[in-house]
Amino acid sequence: MRITTLSEFILDRQHEFPHATGELSRILGAVELAAKVVSREVNKAGLAEDILGAMGNENVQGEQQQKLDVVANELFMNAMKGQGEVAGVASEEDEHYVVFETERARQGKYIVTMDPLDGSSNIDVNVSIGTIFSIYRRVSTGEHLMPEDFLQPGTAQVAAGYVIYGSSTMLVYTTGHGVNGFTLDPSIGTFCLSHPDMKTPEQGKIYSVNEGNYNDFSEGVRAYIDACKERRYSARYIGSLVADFHRNLLKGGIYFYPGTTKAPNGKLRLLYEGNPLAFLVEQAGGLASDGTRRILEIRPEELHQRCPLFIGSKAMVEEVVKA
C-alpha cells in the first residue's frame, strides 16, 4: 500500500483553492510543523518538571518550566509568524489579536484564529488535549489589520482543523472539500493519511455533555438527556472538546455545551472552538448549532465571544435543537 504524507496531500490538493499560489499550502505546512513540536512537548510533559528537572535538565537560564498551554501558544504563534502569508493571529490565550509586523506579513492575505491547547483541565493529568485552528482571508484593504478581519462568520473559513494529542497524534483538517485525517508516525516524524474523506454517521449512540450542570440546563436540554438515558445511549465526556469531538466524529454521537441561566452563552468560544469544529462537522455530514442558529452563520461581535454548542451527528443535533 502506498503511503500518502500530509505534505504530499496538501500539495496534491492545492488546485482546489481559487487562485492557488501555494500560500495556503505553506500555512498548513507551518501548522503541521508546530503540531509536531507541540506533540513532542506534550509527550514529555509529565517528565518535564519532576524527572528532567531532578536530573538537572533545566534550561540554560535555569528558568522554570513554562506551562504547556503557554508553550503551545508561542510555538503556533511563531510558526504562523514565520509564514509571510499570515498577517495576524487571534488566540484564545491572548486578550488581543497579534499583528505581525514584517514587510511580508503586512501584505499577508490570511489571518488565523486558534485555541493552541484546548482541554486545559486535562493538561496535567495525562488525558488527551488538542489544538484547534481556522484560516480566513483578510478582508480589510488598508495598511493595518482591522477587527473585521477576525470577526468573520464561520462560513468565510478557508480551512480549519485540529490536532489531537492522544494515544497517537492526529491532524484532521478541511479546506471545504471533505475532511481528511493524518496520524503522526513518531518513528519518522511524518503525518500519514490514515482517515481519508471522513464522514460522520448520521445517527449515533453517544452523548457528551457535562451532566453535572444538568439542573442548570433548559427543560428541552434536560428532556433530551433523559431521552438519551431512556434509549441506553452511552455517556462519554472527556472534558477535552477535541477528544470528545474526534471520537464522536468517528463513531457517531453528539457533544453539547449548552447555555445555563447563569451563563446563557455557555463556555466555549465561537472563534476558536465553535467555528472550526462546525466547519469540519458539516464537511463530514454532521451539524453544528447554537440551539437556534447554524454556528457558521453567527456574526461574531467580539474576539472571545462564547456560544452554546450542539455538534455532531445530524439526526441527534436536529433532535436536541427541536427539544
Which residues make up the interface to ligand AHM (CB under 6 A)? 92, 115, 118-121, 210, 239-241, 267
Residue 53, all three cell numbers: 528537572
In the numeric block, the cell 499570515 is attached to 86
Across-strand partners of 89? 98, 112
Q: Angle at CA 238, nearest 5°, toward 235 and 239? A: 115
> Does 149 engage in binding with Mg ion (CB under 5 A)?
no
CA 266 to chain centroid, in Å, comes to 17
CB of 140 to ligand AHM, least distance (A): 28
Q: Please identify the residue of the shown chain whose CB is closest to the bound Mg ion.
A: 118
43 binds, among ligand AHM, Mg ion, none (CB under 5 to 8 A by kind): none
DSSP-derived letter for residue 13 is T
> Does 118 engage in binding with Mg ion (CB under 5 A)?
yes
93 binds, among ligand AHM, Mg ion, none (CB under 5 to 8 A by kind): none
> Does 93 engage in binding with Mg ion (CB under 5 A)?
no
DSSP-derived letter for residue 273 is I
Longest Cα separation, the chain: 60
> Does 115 engage in binding with Mg ion (CB under 5 A)?
yes
Query: Is 286 within 8 Å of 200 (Cβ atoms)?
Result: yes
CB of 120 to Mg ion, least distance (A): 7
For 209-317, strand residue ranges (E) read 234-235, 254-257, 287-289, 309-312
194 binds, among ligand AHM, Mg ion, none (CB under 5 to 8 A by kind): none
Query: Is 76 within 8 Å of 42 (Cβ atoms)?
Result: no
239 binds, among ligand AHM, Mg ion, none (CB under 5 to 8 A by kind): ligand AHM
CB of 323 to Mg ion, least distance (A): 26
Residue 222, all three cell numbers: 434536560
CB of 281 to ligand AHM, least distance (A): 15
Cβ-based nearer residue to ligand AHM, 41 or 185: 41
Cβ-based nearer residue to Mg ion, 32 or 118: 118
CB of 209 to Mg ion, least distance (A): 16
CB of 211 to Mg ion, least distance (A): 20
Q: Which amino acid is at 55?
A: M
267 binds, among Mg ion, ligand AHM, none (CB under 5 to 8 A by kind): ligand AHM
Cβ-based nearer residue to ligand AHM, 64 or 121: 121
Exposed / middle / buried, residue 12 (Cβ in 10 Å: 0-12, 13-18, 19+): exposed
240 binds, among ligand AHM, Mg ion, none (CB under 5 to 8 A by kind): ligand AHM
Angle, helix 241-251 to helix 275-283, in steps of 10 degrees: 10
CA distance 290 to 301: 15
Give the residues lining the site for Mg ion (CB under 5 A): 115, 118
